[in-house]
């Protein structure tokens, strides 16, 4: 593994660890809260679309499996769906690279919707506990709305930018 790829992978894992830590903090003193966005999903999709060479599929799966274990979610279901969604985005990254951000945001919104719908359908099929539909819709809206700020923060704080066409050709040749 080359140094920039390893550094990007370590940086992604550190950012996901920080997001998981923040998710575990008790920020409210009780009462009913609105569901927040899935910032980890936003960061993963943004990273895959900007630096697909730095983020391998096993890393994505491992990070989300650890998240499932820590948050007591059904083990492996959401990581599998995130892995499928991120790999679908990675396959289309070359075609999406030159488009405006609003189009990318719309495509990501559709992808996130399909991922969350697939997760809910599998939960229903296997008779798992299913959260209320209103909560899931609010979670989806919050996650889609959080994508642009996550992309801006990743660019400002981490330096995550789109891969240039020349760099993309070099990484393909190196493989």
Per-residue confidence of the chain (175 residues) as pLDDT tens digits? Answer: 577 778 888 999 999 999 999 888 876 666 667 788 999 999 999 999 998 888 899 999 999 999 999 998 888 899 999 999 999 999 988 888 888 899 999 999 999 999 999 999 999 999 988 989 999 999 999 999 999 999 999 999 888 888 776 665 555 445 4
For residue 52, the 8-state DSSP code is T
| Range list of β-strands (E), 9-140 | none
Residue among 63, 71, 56, 65 nearest 24 (CA): 71
Residue spans of the domains in the chain: they are 3-25+34-174
Separation between Cα atoms, residue 170 and residue 54, nearest integer Å = 13
Specify the pLDDT at position 118.
95
């Amino acid at each position: 593994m080359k140094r920039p790829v390893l550094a990007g992978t370590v940086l992604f894992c550190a950012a996901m660890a920080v997001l998981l830590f923040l998710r575990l903090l008790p920020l409210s003193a009780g009462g009913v809260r609105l569901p927040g966005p899935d910032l980890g999903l936003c960061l993963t999709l943004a990273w895959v679309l900007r630096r697909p060479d730095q983020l391998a599929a096993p890393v994505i799966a491992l990070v989300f499996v650890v998240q499932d274990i820590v948050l007591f979610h059904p083990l492996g279901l959401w990581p599998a769906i995130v892995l499928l969604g991120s790999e679908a985005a990675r396959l289309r990254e070359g075609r999406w690279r030159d488009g405006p951000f609003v189009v990318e945001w719309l495509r990501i919104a559709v992808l996130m919707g399909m991922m969350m719908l697939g997760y809910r359908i599998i939960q229903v099929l296997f008779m798992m506990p299913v959260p209320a539909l209103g909560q899931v819709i609010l979670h989806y809206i919050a996650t889609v709305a959080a994508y642009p700020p996550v992309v801006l923060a990743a660019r400002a704080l981490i330096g995550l930018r789109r891969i240039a066409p020349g760099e993309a050709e070099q990484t393909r040749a190196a493989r």
